[in-house]
Structure 1
Amino acid sequence: MAYNIMETIKLHDLLPILDGVSDAVFIDDGAGHCVWCNSACEELYQISSSGTRGKHVKDLEKMGIFAPSVTRRVLEENREITIIHENKNGKKLLTTGTPVYNSKQEISLIITVSRDITQLTSKQDPSDADAGTVLPLNDIDGIEAPGGDIISSSQSMHNVMTLTKRLASVNTTVLITGESGVGKGLIAKQLHEEGNRCEGPFVTVNCGAIPDNLIESELFGYAPGAFTGSRSDGKKGLFEVAQSGTIFLDEISELPLNMQVKLLRVIQEREITPVGGVKPIPIDVRIVSATNRDLQDLVRQDKFREDLYYRLNVVPITVPPLRDRPEDILPLIQSNLHKYNENLREHKVLSSEALTVLLKYPWPGNVRELQNIIERLIITTNDDVISEENLPIFIKQEAETNANTKTDLSLAAAMEKAERDILSNALTNYKSTRAIAKVLQVSQPTIVRKLHKYGLSGSEQ
């Protein structure tokens, strides 16, 4: 949104107010030359207001101070621009540049506001991390953050990763449960990579993707000449391939009942017998399984063996759906924008309106759906800015009706905080609501109403 102001406004009247705002504020003139920045901006970007005053945004961009330059894009596109980016000091920033027009509808000023969101993407060891941190992982259903790390800032995922790290050091059997797309494969791989079997192979088996008549030979292998069309020298099964490592049995609920009996024996005896073979082969393999179904319910329906269930479910790990950890949505969006922009050689960014919708959407397909949507938006959006109009209709509809979705870092909350900071600082410099209204170019009743809203007080005169 762009704002019209009176040409007679005195910018210096606003500077004491803006200098007390916690977000970084940078002001350029209509030609792109630096006019002023507040103390928070000096600290965040490691610059001085006097040292940058008069410099053009393109020069500052070449110096790496503002790269990419939001101000430059506002001038080029003549509209508000919002991006998530990283400054030269490695801090993650949410930055919005807003054009201010004069009475001739020409850009007279550009006000850029940056908020530090580094806490959402800082790296910590899971055993030391608090809620609101990023946990270093290597893969989450193929969704990787810049540098190969996986972003998570919720307490629930922190708890999952703390348990995962603890279990990695032991060889107990683990059952991972959770909806499709939440990252069960991530947890399985993390168990392997953090444990003493990390030098061994990690073998993934999708139990639902192998035909019933082939699954035994795939898992246990077959002896030479075991059946018509088999290899003359036989074939190793996946359990044998995973020797000294980990075998991950995904979609374990889809394993046929006859194979459940044989898997139970493998767990108990720690040996396999290839199809057509007579001599058992000892195995040294950690077994990790996963499912998106309720195995206890399948046990009650006689579709899953109870004895196998208890053998697999020695220690359960439940990965929560994305709708129950909305704090993770923003960093995952940021991560995937970066990933697919690099992969597709694009430079797309989300508008603040589009980002707000995505934060409200419940993500029934979880992280995998988020990955799919971000990739689709980058491919199908013609402009560099992905607007709300570019979002699929079903996402906008679901987001509108999803009244229960809450995010700790909503744009509305951020805007309210900034508004309260401005009013609070205005009260320090201008003691009456009429003076504040005059400086901020709004009506005096509006100032009174907003002061009441934020629990602030000021005299009328």
Structure 2
Amino acid sequence: MAVKSIDLQTVLDSVYNGIVACDTDGRIILINESAARVAGQPKDKLMGARVDQVFPNTGLLEIIRTGENRPHQRLNFQGRLLLSNRSPIRNADGELVGAIGVFQDNSELESMTHAFKEEKKVAEELQDIIESSYDGMWITDGQGYTLHVNSAYERISGMKKEEVLGKHMQELVDKGYFSDSVTLHVLEKKERVTMMHEIRKTGKRALITGNPIFDENGEIVRVVTNVRDITELLNLKQDLEDKAKQAARYQNELAQLRSKSIYDDIVVESPQMRHIFDLATWVGQVDSTVLILGESGVGKEVVTQIVVRSSERRDEPFIKVNCGAIPENLLESELFGYEKGSFTGADKKGKPGMFELAHKGTILLDEVAEIPLNLQVKLLRAIQEQEIIRVGGTKPLKLDVRIIAATNRDLDELVRTGQFREDLFYRLNVIPITVPPLRERREDIPALIELFLCKYNEKYRLNKTLAPETVERLVSYDWPGNVRELQNIVERMVVLSRDDEVGPDALPLQLKSVGKTDADFHVDVSGVVPLKDALFEVEKKLVVKALQKYGTTRRAAEALGVDQSTVVRKYQRIRELEAGM
């Protein structure tokens, strides 16, 4: 079968990747169109030029010095990040006669178009170049018969060239050498074809690109297939994805640790508060709008602080606005500011509003349900467009503000009755966080008591303790005013009680009758004991009495207002301590 010869340079110019070769003096002896295009100079002007002057940091001179292959080398050239395979060129006697570099623009890697378009060797120099390539190369004629396979392909595939030379690609597919052939697809479609392929014999993953070479009549005379082993690249990609997931997990854990270290005064004993703490910490890492719901005094502002301190905006302004405490006729100017001369009594220079002051940071709109309907439209625009217009102004001001809203009212009901805009509600209710009342998380009460007792002892330079019966009454109370009411009562007892141990007589009237129906339920402690010990005794009495009365941990947990697992855990600890004694 006659083989049509073509010019070496024509073959090289058909190669998609850049190819440049130099002699042992570092002068360019061969360069293709792709490499000349990257260099930004005509090809004929580059022949004979110093390779390190055309391509600084090319590394080909190092190849000549060491005689070693340098695959997968990164090279920054004129703002382009090139991935280069560099190899020595040796003649038939093994003598080093030069070096060759094959490179690709790494930005085009995703298009998977790094194949060589090559023709059969027409000269020994071209044979050396093909054999020096680190990528595998498979060349067929226009009918699909194999003309050449380089040694790199043998390495990647585990096959010997003697097995396939002269054979048609369809024959090799039929015999099971390949499950598919990119060459056959190229011959059928008459265009470049790229496919992923797993090589059966070695188990390697390869990116295979077949390129047709056309004659002057538009007929395919050669198909040059480039085979790149991307097993390591795919493994690296998977490693990067795994590390990205791990980094996200570490970021969340770090945010939680940061919040816990900042807020030593946060109580998260109950499962409900643990969940809220974790959620607020996680949400803090994004800029979504947060709506915090709950009765008055449950600690909505504390949750807001967790969100803010967990965010990237933690060092930026944090502006708190109590929308219910500002007169309606002043609320608009307070929120959005005003221009000079906007109204009688206005500052002559104008004044920035709370939203402007919160630029780059966070704004808390407490009691957001109290904003009148006419201002809700303007607030909706501020949220949607991230821009405001001052009172008396005409120019929109672009802002970057994270919005947190809070209310103790039922917004669903207000929307149904027309007192709150539905579109604004949906804009605010992106991430709702509902803080349960204190009566639904009684596990937090002993820890809160200890927290407030320490706080006011330190503030007033006292050393008060609470009698166990006092703690029992506090735990049993329903707390309509929630945490705020508990804090106020603890402070009142610390300040007004003249005894070092605050007994139940110091309790407000509404708490004195709490728990009296169980007259046999009280704790006897002789003298002053550490508060933690007293709290343990209270928990012990409550847990044991509930189990005796209701018979099961589930019913006892319902009566105590805690999870069943909490009752089981605490009862197990009680038994362990008693067994130890």
- 2:260 — aligned with what? 136
- 1:344 — aligned with what? 460
- 1:213 — aligned with what? 329
Is 1:236 the counterpart of 2:362? The answer is no
- 2:382 — aligned with what? 266
Q: CA deviation at 1:180?
A: 0.6
Alpha-carbon distance between aligned partners in 1 of 2:518 and 2:262, rounded to the nearest angstrom: 31
Matches within 5 A, 1:21-420: 136=260, 148-400=264-516, 411=537, 414=540
Q: CA deviation at 1:190?
A: 1.4
Q: Structure 1 376/413 Cα, relative in aligned 2: closer, same or farther at 3 Å?
A: closer
Opposite residue 377 of structure 1, the aligned amino acid is M
Residues 271 and 283 of structure 1 are in contact (CA less than 8 Å); yes or no, is this contact kept in structure 2? yes
Alpha-carbon distance between aligned partners in 1 of 2:337 and 2:361, rounded to the nearest angstrom: 17
SS in 2 for 1:249: strand
Alpha-carbon distance between aligned partners in 2 of 1:379 and 1:364, rounded to the nearest angstrom: 22
SS in 1 for 2:260: coil
Q: CA deviation at 1:325?
A: 0.7
Q: CA deviation at 1:202?
A: 0.5
- Aligned pair count reads 280
- Could you give the per-residue CA deviations for residues 78-122 of structure 1, whole angstroms, max 9, x where no partner exists? xxxxxxxxxxxxxxxxxxxxxxxxxxxxxxxxxxxxxxxxxxxxx
Residues 176-185 or 355-364, more deviating? 355-364
Opposite residue 228 of structure 1, the aligned amino acid is T
Q: CA deviation at 1:356?
A: 1.3
- 2:27 — aligned with what? none
Alpha-carbon distance between aligned partners in 2 of 1:188 and 1:385, rounded to the nearest angstrom: 35
Q: Structure 1 287/137 Cα, relative in aligned 2: closer, same or farther at 3 Å?
A: farther
Q: Structure 1 418/275 Cα, relative in aligned 2: closer, same or farther at 3 Å?
A: closer
Q: Rg larger in 1 or in 2?
A: 2
Residues 218 and 238 of structure 1 are in contact (CA less than 8 Å); yes or no, is this contact kept in structure 2? yes
Which runs of 5 or more structure 1 residues have no equivalent in the other structure? 1-124, 140-147, 404-408, 420-453, 455-461
Identical-residue share of aligned pairs (%): 51
Alpha-carbon distance between aligned partners in 1 of 2:322 and 2:343, rounded to the nearest angstrom: 24
SS in 2 for 1:179: coil
Residues 278-287 or 409-418, more deviating? 409-418
Residues 388 and 399 of structure 2 are in contact (CA less than 8 Å); yes or no, is this contact kept in structure 1? yes
**What TM-score do the two structures reach when normalised by structure 2?**
0.46
Alpha-carbon distance between aligned partners in 2 of 1:413 and 1:340, rounded to the nearest angstrom: 23
Q: Structure 1 343/411 Cα, relative in aligned 2: closer, same or farther at 3 Å?
A: same
Residues 386 and 400 of structure 2 are in contact (CA less than 8 Å); yes or no, is this contact kept in structure 1? yes
Q: Structure 1 305/197 Cα, relative in aligned 2: closer, same or farther at 3 Å?
A: same
- Could you give the per-residue CA deviations for residues 358-410 of structure 1, whole angstroms, max 9, x where no partner exists? 1111111111111100000011111111011111120122444799xxxxx77
Q: CA deviation at 1:151?
A: 2.1
- Could you give the per-residue CA deviations for residues 181-236 of structure 1, whole angstroms, max 9, x where no partner exists? 11101111211111011111000000100111101100010011111111111100
Alpha-carbon distance between aligned partners in 1 of 2:542 and 2:269, rounded to the nearest angstrom: 23
Alpha-carbon distance between aligned partners in 2 of 1:204 and 1:386, rounded to the nearest angstrom: 36
Alpha-carbon distance between aligned partners in 2 of 1:416 and 1:348, rounded to the nearest angstrom: 24
Alpha-carbon distance between aligned partners in 2 of 1:217 and 1:223, rounded to the nearest angstrom: 9
- Could you give the per-residue CA deviations for residues 237-265 of structure 1, whole angstroms, max 9, x where no partner exists? 00000000000000011000001111011
SS in 1 for 2:297: coil
- 2:62 — aligned with what? none
Q: Structure 1 416/369 Cα, relative in aligned 2: closer, same or farther at 3 Å?
A: closer
Alpha-carbon distance between aligned partners in 1 of 2:518 and 2:386, rounded to the nearest angstrom: 49
Residues 153-162 or 387-396, more deviating? 387-396
Q: CA deviation at 1:149?
A: 2.7
Cα-Cα RMSD: 2.8
Residues 356 and 411 of structure 1 are in contact (CA less than 8 Å); yes or no, is this contact kept in structure 2? no
SS in 1 for 2:392: coil
Q: Structure 1 281/354 Cα, relative in aligned 2: closer, same or farther at 3 Å?
A: same
- 1:89 — aligned with what? none
Q: Structure 1 373/402 Cα, relative in aligned 2: closer, same or farther at 3 Å?
A: farther
Q: Structure 1 398/300 Cα, relative in aligned 2: closer, same or farther at 3 Å?
A: farther
Instruction: Point out which structure has higher relative CO (alpha carbons under 8 A, 6+ apart).
Output: 1
Alpha-carbon distance between aligned partners in 2 of 1:174 and 1:416, rounded to the nearest angstrom: 37
SS in 2 for 1:341: helix
Alpha-carbon distance between aligned partners in 1 of 2:496 and 2:443, rounded to the nearest angstrom: 27
Residues 206 and 251 of structure 1 are in contact (CA less than 8 Å); yes or no, is this contact kept in structure 2? yes
Alpha-carbon distance between aligned partners in 1 of 2:463 and 2:412, rounded to the nearest angstrom: 47
SS in 1 for 2:291: strand
Residues 468 and 538 of structure 2 are in contact (CA less than 8 Å); yes or no, is this contact kept in structure 1? no
Q: Structure 1 243/322 Cα, relative in aligned 2: closer, same or farther at 3 Å?
A: same
SS in 1 for 2:463: coil
Residues 223-232 or 288-297, more deviating? 223-232
SS in 2 for 1:214: helix
Opposite residue 374 of structure 1, the aligned amino acid is V
Q: Structure 1 129/235 Cα, relative in aligned 2: closer, same or farther at 3 Å?
A: closer
**What TM-score do the two structures reach when normalised by structure 1?**
0.57
Q: Structure 1 381/261 Cα, relative in aligned 2: closer, same or farther at 3 Å?
A: same
Alpha-carbon distance between aligned partners in 1 of 2:368 and 2:408, rounded to the nearest angstrom: 9
Alpha-carbon distance between aligned partners in 2 of 1:261 and 1:402, rounded to the nearest angstrom: 55
Q: CA deviation at 1:137?
A: 7.1
Alpha-carbon distance between aligned partners in 2 of 1:129 and 1:418, rounded to the nearest angstrom: 38
Q: Structure 1 223/358 Cα, relative in aligned 2: closer, same or farther at 3 Å?
A: same
Residues 356 and 410 of structure 1 are in contact (CA less than 8 Å); yes or no, is this contact kept in structure 2? no
Alpha-carbon distance between aligned partners in 2 of 1:264 and 1:252, rounded to the nearest angstrom: 12
Opposite residue 537 of structure 2, the aligned amino acid is L
Alpha-carbon distance between aligned partners in 2 of 1:372 and 1:137, rounded to the nearest angstrom: 25
